[in-house]
Each structure stands twice: as structure tokens, then as C-alpha cells.
Chain A
Amino acid sequence: MRLYKHSLSVFLRDRKLSIPYHGVLALVLVMSFCCLGSYSRYDDVFSAVRWWLARPVIFIIAFFIYCGYELTVRMHDNDMVEYVRAHTLGLLKAYSAVLFSLLTIVAVPSSMFFAFFLFLYQRVGVQYTPFLVHLTKLSVLYFGLSLAAGAMLGMAMAARLRSNRLAVYTLTTGFMLLNTTFTDAPFRVPHLVFNSYLVERALYYVKDFLTLVPHQLGSYFAIYPIYGFPMEPVRWVVAVFWVLFPLTLVLVECFTRRIRRALLVASALLLLLGVGLFSVRGSVLAMDMRNDSYAYADPIYYADRLRQDYAGYEAGFAIEAYRMDLTVSNELHAQVHVTVDNPGREGYEFTLYHGYILKSVRTEGGEIPFTREGDYVSIGGLNGSDTLVFTYHGKSPKFYANAQAITLPGYFAYYPKAGRSNIWDLDRYGYVVNLPPYESVYTVKVRSGLKVFCSLAGGDNGFHGRSNGVSLFAGMYDEVAHGIYAEPMRSDQPTRESILEAEQILTDAFLRVGHPDMVIALSDKKFLQTPASFALNSNTDNTVIMSDHIVSSSAGAQGLACSIMTSIVRPKSAGDFWFRTRYLSYLLRGQDETSLALQSEVDTSLLLEEMEEWLLLPDPRANNMTEQERAGYLAAKRRRSELERAVSEKAAKYLFYESARKQENLRFFFDYFTSESTEDCLQLAITRVREELGP
């Protein structure tokens, strides 16, 4: 106790330590005020905490490395170690005093952060306990354990490297840079040199092991309310490791002979345990620029592989029933019983996302052989049985299932689906909505520490019902109204009224285009709002309607109706974006009548001129060009792009808003967009305008 008091007073008396320390405490206050100001201004608590507290905290951690190092290294600078060691357990007592002093000085800013989070929760005013728990865990992991880890690292460096300040500076710099996005560009270099992602993965492996605060400085990825700040079990393991491992290194210095050897073995075992647990971390949210991150993993994986199209593929059998026993821990562990309607076939094909490692396929008669080829599983006959049992485990970078949250929509092959179907659509840059045309009977049991919300009826993580796809969600997720599930911390939540209004808009649109058969009843389905992050790397699954439920990231009536209609009115090519967007706007009457663009009529003669120019302007190709040709190419490309947008918008306005035949035009283009026609959209629009305006 006496030593502790002395050590603490040494820290407080030393101006090189105490003045910067008080500066850091003042900085914590400033950061908290800025966070509060940002929240008051933008009403986004996750963004405010990320910008003002989570991202800069790495430099506070680095400051505590400095404190830990400078306070401990004095013993070595003044050659006190031999003298202290002369006393019984002298060095241990001296280090313990320094350790407790450091923990005390770390406790002050950590308590300030904790108090601020409690205040913030009060200020946000949402009565949602999981959010309070999330903030509490955040303050302990990001602003408690991480700061303590910094102090421990500093202390360990002083104990091991002594006065070798250059090494300490270099290690601290490396640690800081690895905890920011400084590494993004250099980590791409191995791919440039070796044309392989293996080294990049290894580099990120090391980086992740040293990362105390994810969503690092420089990352522009948002925090999504369903997940919050990443705090999977592995992050706690890493933080605790970086507190305990340096501590064992310090303890090694305190003893001699047998105890020293025992402590060395203990630290080696701790290292092995840390790396081992880190290696089996399973599903972790990786929101950064790496090739296997949330945003890039699937686009890169499918772009690198041979293109296969299973659009017209017939499975030859249907699945009558699923019994799914799912365990969600570090990742998804599944045992799925599948009952097929046609057990006499010689072979069966299934689609299961490649991230799930299939361990076995069994029937009542025992294990049967299977072949795995990416997303596809092929097996032979069932030997008289009609039920197969798939046992697998794994993860998807985007559709995660871990101890913090679950987002498994029914159209994604996280359980075996009959036949072969694509997972990713290269042309439309998005996930393929993979749903069978029939319903199956599902019995789902989920073992998880989270309360799981499912599209089927049930409770206590057990669900049963008929559908053509089962969706599972968990995390900071709840039933916000009867039959409507969403993130309670999200500002744009769907309501029963907005769903009814969307249904009305769609019904009106289908009647206008002469397709009453396509009217969709939305109000009798469960509505599960997906996180806004779903749109981060996919253009196709904003809204998916299944037989018993809807998954959509939209909330407002117009947005919801538009996203549903977008899934029906599909693009023919990348070039029809502007025309199709305007078409949808006029079809759903979503245009802003007060906008200046609608106040004046289309100058039809100018439109015809621009059409002519666009038709005559060749689509420029960029092959083996000189500098002069390149300049011409860029100018032509720019002009074509400008014209494409202008012609699209004006033609759409004329055809669907001003024309006397606008209802007919709407119907014509609805049939075109829902047909298999390969005709160019804009060419068709031009032909249509010319027909109306004459030569």
C-alpha cells in the first residue's frame, strides 16, 4: 500500500507525466461534449459515439503505453532494479505498486467514459435495456480493458526492453498504425506482387489480433443498430489477452530460476491459448476494405470464378419439410433434416452457401457420400429413405450469425435449398433471391443466448409453420408493432399504416398497367425490417416478399412500394438506370409535383435533337489509344453519359407524365420490363417518342 501511494505520487509529481495526463482527461471531456453535440445535431447516437469516442481512442491507448513505459522504466534508468531485487520479492512489490498506480490512472478516464454513456442513455430517452447493456459493455471493452491493455503494454516494454526507447517507439508506432486504416493501401501490395489474397489475409490476421478498437480511424463504414459496435466474444478474448500477456512478461522479470521458467511457460501457454481462441473466432463483423469483408467478400468471390447461370435449372424434386436445429455461438452450427417428395431419384442437387462447411450428409441408413462444388452439394440415391440430415457449420461475411446478432434472410441459402441456383448475380451486382415456388413445413429450433425473431410463428427460439423461406433476426432487434419487427434504435421504422399505404400504391399501379392479377397483399404478412447495411453491396434484395413475410430495409410507404416494384420491374442493362427510375416514379406517382422540373413542359424539339445526337454518338471503346485519342474518348464518354441522362429523364417525363397516351405508355413499358425482351430500353423509348411526335 505504501509503495502504491509512493508510486502514484511519483506519477503525479512528475510533470512529464501528470501534465499530459491532465491534458488527456480534459480531452476526454471535450470528446464527450463533442459527442453529445453531434448526437443533438444529427440524432444518430451510434455515429456520434463512433466519430468522437471510439475512433480517436487508439491515441489515448497509445498515451497509456507512454504512461506505463515512462513510469516503469525509471527503475531501469536509475539502475534501481538490482537494489530492489535484493529485498524479498522486492521487484514484485515494486512492479505491483506501479501496476496498481497505472490501473488507478486508467480508471479515471474509464469511469468518465462510463458515466458519459449512462448520461447518453438517459439523454437518448429510449427505454430499451439491450441498448443500455450494449453501452455498458462498450465502455468496459473499448474504454476500460483497452486502456488497461495500453498501460500493460507500456509496462511490459519497460520491463523487457528497458531503456531501448527506439524499440519502444517503433513498436508503439506500429501498434498505432495497425489500429487505423493506414494499413489499407499497403495490405493490397501482396496481391499486386503475388496475385493472391493469401498474404493479405495473413496480414489482416495479425492486424485483427492487435486490433483493440474496430471501426478504426479512417473507416467510413457506419454502425448499424442491429449489431451496434462489434463486441463478439473474440474481441473480449483479445482485450483480456493484451492485459494478461504483458502482465506475465512483467512477472517473468520479478523471479529467478524455477518460478521464472514456470512463468515463461505460462506466458507461452497464454499466447497459444490467445492465438488458438482467436483462430476459431468464427463469424465476426469485418467492415473494412479487406477482400473478405462484409462489403467485398461475395462480389470478389463470384467475380473470380467461372460464371455459371442456373436461371432455368429444374431441381426435379421438392422439399416437403425442414427440421432445423441451429446453434448460434461463434458461428452457425446446423443440423438440418430435409424431407423430399421424390425419394426414388438417382441423384439430388442442393444449394448451400460456400461459407458453410458441410461435415456430413446422412439418411436413416447412415452417412452417404456427397461432393461439394462451391455453393452446390451433389449426392446419390437415398436408399429408400426420404429424409436427409445435413450437418454443417460456418459463416457468411454479410449474413452473419454470432453471439452478437443474427441476420439470416429466407432467400439466402444458409440452409440447403433444392436444386442449383445462383447466389450472386454478376450483372445486377446483388444477391439472387433464391426462393422455391412452393411452401414447405418448417420446424426451427435455435440455441442462442439471443432472443431470436423468426418469420414463422412460435416463441422461446422455437418456431413452426409453412413458408417458402425462413428468416431469422436477432441482436438489438424487437417487435416494434404487431407483426412488425425492426431495430428499435433505428429512426426510420415501418408502421402498419405505412405498409397499408404501400399496398394501396402498388394496387393502384398494378391496376393502371392492367395487371390486377399481380396485386400483392402486404398487410397480412409479417414484416421484418432488414438492416440498412444490406444495401451496402447489393442492388437486388432491398425488399423480398416471401409467402408469409416480407423482408425489407425500407420503411416509408413510397420507399417500400418503390422497392417492391423495383424487384418486379427489373433492369435490362446498366444504361437504363435513369429511365427506369423515372418510370417507377411516374408509375407509383412518387414524383414531386412542386418540383421545378415538372413546372415546365418538355421541349420536344430539343428532345428530338438530343435523341438524334445520342443515336449518332458511337459508344466509345478504350483500346490501345494515344494521348490524343484518349482525350477524345473521355470527351465522347462524358457527352454520351450527359445525353443518356437528359434523354432518359425528358423522354420519361414526356411519355409518362405529359403524353395523352401516358396510361398506354406505362402499360407498354411495364410489359417490356417484366418480359424477357432484350431490346435496348432507351432505343425503345426513343422509338415511342418519335411515334408520338411524328417525324
Chain B
Amino acid sequence: MAHEWDRLMRRLYLELKNQRLYFFVPPFVLFALVPLSVLAGPQGTDPSFSQCVTLSQLFIPSFAAWWPLFVLKEYHSSPARELLVVHRSSRAELLSRMISLWALYVLLAAVVFVYFASLFGRVWYLFAAVAAQSMFMIALGYSLSLLLQNTFIPLIVNFAYSSIFMLAVLDSPLNIFTIGTFSDAGSLVKPATVAAVAIVLLLAGYQAERRLYTRSM
């Protein structure tokens, strides 16, 4: 089991390393873009928690799918894509990789939220919501990329979804984002639903992943 874990982490490390400078886009968004944007309030106003709510949900979930989609690109568009899925031991590795990347991303986001907590007090309901939304975006990217056999369209869909539902259509039932105060446990109802939908999408993606191996064998 420990050997399996080491092997998974080793492959994940190599795949992230393979992204070279593009790997640093999500950390840049998390550690520079989001905190600075929150601090720079609109037209000279002080930073506010509502600004933090908006910008965290706008940027953090949309860039959550960055690493996963860039990893998945190797499985759909690289010259060695056939080789990557022929080994029996490879089964469900993509799903475990998606979950690992989500965990890593949420861990980094937690550092940013520690900083936000020092500014605004209780931000942990918002953090839970952002973690669920990030999981949803990763699950959406994972299932779509396996369904469509490419990563370009899931990338466009990812940013289109975030832009449309965070910037334009706020009150749709299809919207995973919430414009609220995130002040009590009641604000976790929607994120819990989002997490459940994300799990369904991950499972759907996993079924597609298994078919991918069957076809390749």
C-alpha cells in the first residue's frame, strides 16, 4: 500500500514537474492575485469580507482545474497517450490523481484563508464552500475530458462556467457559487450539495476512465 502511494506521488510529482512554468499559475493566483485583489477594494474603499467572498469564489475554483486538466492533457493529446493507459496497474490512477490534486490545491488555499481569517475573522464557512466548488470544477473537468477525449474544451467550459455564473447569472439553480455572508452553518447547505454533485461527476468520470483502459487493452 505504501509502495503504491509512493509510486502515485512520484508520478504526480513528475507530471507536475512536466508542466514547467505553467505549474506556477495556480500558486500565483492563490498567493498573489486573490489576496492583492481583495486588498485593492473598488474605487478606494477598504477591503471588505463581501469582496473576499466574491473574489475567492471567482478565482479559486476556476483555477482549481488547471493542474488536473494539464495532467489529463498527457492522456489525450501527447504522443505517448496509448502507453499511459495500457498497464493494468494504471486503473483508477486518474481519479486518485484528481483527488490528490484537489487536496493539494485546497491545502494551499487554506494558507490564503489563514491570512483572510486575520483580516475578516470567521472565513471558514467560505473556505469550505470554496473547497467544494474547487472539487466540482475538477470533477467537471475530469468527467468532460474523459467524455470528449480532449482537454481544450473542458478548459473553455471551466472558465465559461465560472465567468457566467459568478459574473452574470447569479440566481440560477445551476449556479454552484453563493453570494452571501457565510456567517453560519446554514451557509454550508449549498456547498454540501455541490460536493455531492462533484462526487457524482467524479464517479461518472471514473466509469469513463475504466472504459478508456478497456479500449486500450
Q: Is A22 an interface residue (CB 8 A)?
A: no
A189 to B150, CA, bound (A): 35
A217 to B58, CA, bound (A): 13
Q: In the complex the two chains form, is A217's CB within 8 Å of B70's CB?
A: no
Name 13 extra pairs, CB < 8 A, besides A70-B152, A169-B151, A189-B37.
Answer: A16-B150, A20-B148, A59-B163, A63-B156, A166-B22, A167-B22, A184-B42, A185-B58, A186-B37, A188-B40, A189-B33, A189-B39, A192-B36
Choice from A16, A168, A169, A180 contacting B163 with Cβ under 8 Å:
A180
Summarize B's interface: helix, strand, loop or mixed: helix
Q: Is A458 an interface residue (CB 8 A)?
A: no
Q: Which residues of B contact A296 (CB under 8 A)?
A: 43
Q: In the complex the two chains form, is A192's CB within 8 Å of B25's CB?
A: no
When each residue 145-188 of chain B gets 1 if its CB lies under 8 Å from chain A and 0 otherwise, what string results?
A: 00011111101100110011001100000000000000000000
Closest CB pairs A-B (n = 3):
A218-B167, A185-B37, A188-B40
Q: In the complex the two chains form, is A289's CB within 8 Å of B167's CB?
A: no
A317 to B155, CA, bound (A): 66
10 contacts between A and B (CB under 8 A): A16-B150, A55-B168, A56-B160, A59-B160, A165-B73, A165-B152, A166-B70, A180-B163, A181-B167, A186-B37
Stretch of A171-179, A466-474, A478-486, A665-673 that contacts chain B: A171-179
Q: In the complex the two chains form, is B149's CB within 8 Å of A176's CB?
A: no
Q: Which residues of A contact B167 (CB under 8 A)?
A: 180-182, 217-218
A665 to B44, CA, bound (A): 42
Choice from B25, B73, B153 contacting A20 with Cβ under 8 Å:
B153
What is the interface of chain B, defined by CB distance below 8 A to chain A? Answer: 19-20, 22, 25, 33, 36-43, 51, 55, 58-59, 69-70, 73, 77, 79, 148-153, 155-156, 159-160, 163-164, 167-168
Q: Which residues of B contact A188 (CB under 8 A)?
A: 37, 40-42
Chain A residue with the shortest CB-CB distance to B33? A186
A152 to B150, CA, bound (A): 21
Q: In the complex the two chains form, is B156's CB within 8 Å of A59's CB?
A: yes
Choice from B20, B33, B79, B155 contacting A172 with Cβ under 8 Å:
B155
Choice from A51, A169, A180 contacting B152 with Cβ under 8 Å:
A169
Choice from A70, A163, A173, A182 contacting B58 with Cβ under 8 Å:
A182
A172 to B159, CA, bound (A): 11
Summarize A's interface: helix, strand, loop or mixed: helix
Q: In the complex the two chains form, is A69's CB within 8 Å of B152's CB?
A: yes
A6 shortest CB reach to chain B, Å: 22
Q: Is A638 an interface residue (CB 8 A)?
A: no
Q: Which residues of B contact A456 (CB under 8 A)?
A: none
Q: Which residues of A contact B22 (CB under 8 A)?
A: 166-167, 170
A633 to B107, CA, bound (A): 38
Q: In the complex the two chains form, is A170's CB within 8 Å of B40's CB?
A: no
B71 shortest CB reach to chain A, Å: 11
Choice from B19, B79, B150, B164 contacting A166 with Cβ under 8 Å:
B19
Q: In the complex the two chains form, is A182's CB within 8 Å of B73's CB?
A: no
Q: Which residues of A contact B155 (CB under 8 A)?
A: 169, 172-173
Which residues A43-68 have CB closer than 8 A to chain B?
A: 51, 55-56, 59, 62-63, 66
Chain B residue with the shortest CB-CB distance to A19? B148
A658 shortest CB reach to chain B, Å: 42
A182 to B79, CA, bound (A): 34
A177 to B25, CA, bound (A): 14
Chain A residue with the shortest CB-CB distance to B20? A166
A61 shortest CB reach to chain B, Å: 10
B160 shortest CB reach to chain A, Å: 4
A69 to B155, CA, bound (A): 14
Q: Is A345 an interface residue (CB 8 A)?
A: no
Q: Is A123 an interface residue (CB 8 A)?
A: no
Q: In the complex the two chains form, is A169's CB within 8 Å of B42's CB?
A: no
Q: In the complex the two chains form, is B159's CB within 8 Å of A177's CB?
A: yes
Q: In the complex the two chains form, is B164's CB within 8 Å of A56's CB?
A: yes
Chain B residue with the shortest CB-CB distance to A180? B163
Q: Which residues of A contact B43 (CB under 8 A)?
A: 289, 291, 296, 300
Q: In the complex the two chains form, is B70's CB within 8 Å of A169's CB?
A: yes
Q: In the complex the two chains form, is A218's CB within 8 Å of B163's CB?
A: yes
Q: Which residues of B contact A186 (CB under 8 A)?
A: 33, 36-37
Q: Which residues of B contact A182 (CB under 8 A)?
A: 58-59, 163, 167
A180 to B59, CA, bound (A): 13
Q: Which residues of A contact B51 (CB under 8 A)?
A: 185
Q: Is A191 an interface residue (CB 8 A)?
A: yes
Which residues A76-105 have CB closer than 8 A to chain B?
A: 77
Choice from A16, A169, A180, A191 contacting B148 with Cβ under 8 Å:
A16
A326 shortest CB reach to chain B, Å: 33
A218 to B150, CA, bound (A): 28
Which residues A143-169 have CB closer than 8 A to chain B?
A: 163, 165-169
Q: Which residues of A contact B25 (CB under 8 A)?
A: 170
Q: In the complex the two chains form, is B36's CB within 8 Å of A189's CB?
A: yes
When each residue 174-208 of chain A gets 1 if its CB lies under 8 Å from chain B and 0 otherwise, what string results?
A: 00110011101110110111000000000000000
Q: In the complex the two chains form, is A176's CB within 8 Å of B159's CB?
A: yes
B115 shortest CB reach to chain A, Å: 15
A581 shortest CB reach to chain B, Å: 26
A62 to B164, CA, bound (A): 14
Q: In the complex the two chains form, is A217's CB within 8 Å of B164's CB?
A: yes
Q: In the complex the two chains form, is A172's CB within 8 Å of B156's CB?
A: yes
Q: Which residues of B contact A181 (CB under 8 A)?
A: 167
A162 shortest CB reach to chain B, Å: 12
Q: Which residues of A contact B33 (CB under 8 A)?
A: 186, 189
A628 shortest CB reach to chain B, Å: 15
Q: Which residues of B contact A69 (CB under 8 A)?
A: 152
Chain A residue with the shortest CB-CB distance to B54? A185
A173 to B20, CA, bound (A): 17
A16 shortest CB reach to chain B, Å: 6
Q: Which residues of A contact B37 (CB under 8 A)?
A: 185-186, 188-189
When each residue 365-387 of chain A gets 1 if its CB lies under 8 Å from chain B and 0 otherwise, what string results?
A: 00000000000000000000000
A443 shortest CB reach to chain B, Å: 42
A170 shortest CB reach to chain B, Å: 6
Q: Which residues of A contact B164 (CB under 8 A)?
A: 56, 217
Q: In the complex the two chains form, is B40's CB within 8 Å of A185's CB?
A: yes
A217 to B166, CA, bound (A): 10
A439 shortest CB reach to chain B, Å: 40
B62 shortest CB reach to chain A, Å: 8
